[in-house]
Structures are given as structure tokens and as C-alpha cells.
Copies of this chain bind each other. A is one copy, B any other.
Amino acid sequence: MIMTKLSTKNLVSPKGFKAAGLHCGLKHKKKDLAMLVSEVPASVAGVFTTNAIQAAPLGVTKKVVYETKQMQALIVNSGNANACTGKQGKVDAEEMQQLTADKLAIDANLVGVFSTGVIGEIMNMAPVRQGVAKLDLQDSLESAIDFAQAILTTDTVMKNTAYSTIVDGKEVIIAGTAKGSGMIEPNMATMLGFITTDANISSEVLQQTLSSLTDVTFNAITVDGDTSTNDSVVIMANGLAGNEPLTPTHPDWANFYKTLQVVAEDLAKMIAKDGEGATKLIEVNVVQALTDEEARKVAKTVVGSPLVKTAVFGADANWGRVIAAVGYSGASVDPDKIAIKIGGKLLVEDGEPVPFSEEELMQILKQHEVKIDVSLGQGEGSGLAWGCDLTYDYVQINASYRS
């Protein structure tokens, strides 16, 4: 399999994409409006929040993904989620779509709309209108950074990744940018992910691929268990690499599929690591579960446990909280067959404590990435999940988010 990580490349690295981002005035100072456009209409696929309450832009964007089945441009604002905003919210999301279409002289049905920020406040459209007019779309690194910055809310860092692979002897680039920090939980919680590629692939195949990859990437992270009203991941594939259409029977399918998986996993892990107030990325790897699904369930339960998260923050090798979370995950477990490792050190075998050096474990738990391995002795299922520690800063950030 061929895959090369691109160190300086970014969302506009694939052929034919341009981006822009600026401060229009929805937030006090930081950038809050972004746009992405492809030279030609692109195949599109999307996955969206499972929350029963969905923000207005979701309705607009789902129509593009599921009915138009092509996307050429998208607009994103941060600072206001345009959620629980009733009829006016719908009108505003549609206006954002139309403003973008008019600016680019394309059909409005080819434009996706995304919002993230506070729920329940009507959009202030005047700055959005002025901002759209000012957006200067370019295919430069700077414009991709502007885009990546403009979609952030409580995030502390941008989240960019890009890889190249080879299909039919031609270079195919897959790049991604995401935001997400709080209200992150499996099932697309306050997270926006944008993936671009110049691969030639149909919307149908792209949708199947994205859906199947989402379970093991974006849906395998959790920050606080809250699922948001807005979250969405979309991928646009504009075909400009010139390869033969990709399908699972294409000889280079693995190159494309695995590269896309790594892009999605990179973005997911960056989101988990940048969880609100987080100081550490936690990776939980579950093996010997009855099924892969049960393994993922256990992994997500452990990584989502507030008691595990605070123990990791405190560099406390409190494996009792790990085993308690395994026990209430709902998966099939036999207490006498459970083994637990933290940072590669065996702490529990056959459900009973194994002596270990507290000092050594504390050093391991002080690293920026903490790995927890759980073996259930039930079958062949395995799965990963990522999350972060729970800190004073999480409380501070969320006790005063609106102010």
C-alpha cells in the first residue's frame, strides 16, 4: 500500500480546490467565516449528527448530499450554531447558501452550509453578507489556514492533515480539516470535518466508504458524551486527478481506502486530543471481545468515563475505574478473564490485581498520550476509541461559554 504524509499540504492541496476565511463579526475578534470551492462540481458524501434536534444548516446541506449528490462549494460560520432558531434559522441558512452561489455564479443546490457555536440565537446576517463579499478564494497554504482557523470555536489548535497516494499511476491527494472540542461524542457531536480529494469516485461509492469509515474514526472519539445538533463530516471528490473511477474492485482501491481512513483517523484523534481543557490523548484498545462492535462499545465506555478521565489527568493508575467501566459497558464480560494494561504495563490479569510500581506508572501517565489496553477473553472482536482527560479547564471553559 502506498501512502505519503504531506507535511505542509492542506485542504487545498488536492487539485482544483480553493479556500478562504476571515473575521466577519459573529465573534468578537477571531475568524468566523470560511468558504471552500472546487473548480468543478464534485462527488460528495456526508455523515451527520444523530441528534433528534438538528440545526437549520443541516437541512440545507443534507439536501445537497442526498438529492443533488454533487457539491461544488461550502460555507461555514463559527460563533453561532443556527440551531433551535425556528423558521428564521431556515431562512438564514438558505440565504447563506444563495449568497455563496451568487458569489461563485453556480447553482445554489451545489452549495453546503455549516454552522457551529452557541445554540438558540438568531443569526446576525449583516456581517455574514459583508463577509461573503470580502472572502478571497485562493489555493494557497495561507487561504487553507484561514479556512481552518475560521471554523474553530473553543478549539485551541487547527486540525489539518493531508496524504498522497497513487491510483492508476497518478498522484491522488486526500486532505482534511476539522473543528471540534466540546460536545464531542460518537455519532457526530459538535464536530465539523471537511475532506477534499482530487480522486475520481462516484458519490455512491464515496458515501458507502465514508459511512463505513466513520464508525472506526469519527464515531470512535468522545470528549464529554454530549451529542450536538450540528455536526457533520463531508468529503468532496472532484476527479481532477484523472484516475479511472474508484470502486472496491479497482486494483488501487486499498491505496485510496486506507489513505482516506488515515485522514479520518488523524482528524478524529486531533479532535479528541484537543478536547476542551484536555492535557492528554487517551487511546483505549479492546481485544478478545465477542464482536468488533462490543469491543468498540467497551473502548468508548472506558474512554468516556469521567472517573477514568480524571484519574488520567491526575496521573493515577486507578485501574479499578477502568474495570468498573468495562463492567457497566453492557458488553459480554467475564470478570475472571479480564486483563488490563496501562502504558503497556500489565495491572490486571484474570480479573485480579498484578503488583506494579506506582512510581513507574505515574511517569507513564504523565505523558501526553496514554494507552489503555483491555483484553476480555470472550472472542475475536477488537476496537479502538480515543478521548481525553477531564480537567479543571474543562469546567472553566464550560461554566462560562456564552459569556
Contacts and interface: CB of A to CB of B under 8 A. Distances in A.
Interface of A: 50-54, 81, 83-86, 118-122, 182-183, 185, 187, 189, 224-229, 304-307, 310-311, 313-314, 316, 318-321, 323-328, 333, 335-336, 338, 348, 350-353, 390-392, 394-396, 398-403
B120 A224 contact: no
A309 to B, nearest CB: 8
Identical chains bound together, number: 2
A102 B318 CA distance: 35
A260 to B, nearest CB: 27
A255 to B, nearest CB: 36
12 contacts: A53-B326, A53-B333, A53-B351, A86-B350, A182-B307, A227-B324, A229-B327, A310-B394, A313-B399, A314-B398, A316-B402, A390-B398
B403 A306 contact: no
A338 B229 CA distance: 15
B311 A398 contact: yes
Contacts of A348: 84, 120
B399 A84 contact: no
Contact of A400 (B50, B316, B326, B328): B316
B120 A53 contact: no
Contact of A323 (B119, B321, B353): B119
Contact of A392 (B51, B316, B321, B392): B392
Given A307-B224, A324-B228, A313 B84 contact: no
Contact of A84 (B183, B187, B189, B335): B335
Contacts of A304: 225
Contacts of A319: 120
Most chain B CB within 10 A, of A85, A311, A338, A352, is at A352
Given A226-B321, A328-B51, A310 B395 contact: yes
B226 A307 contact: yes
A230 to B, nearest CB: 9
Given A226-B306, A403-B316, A351 B392 contact: no
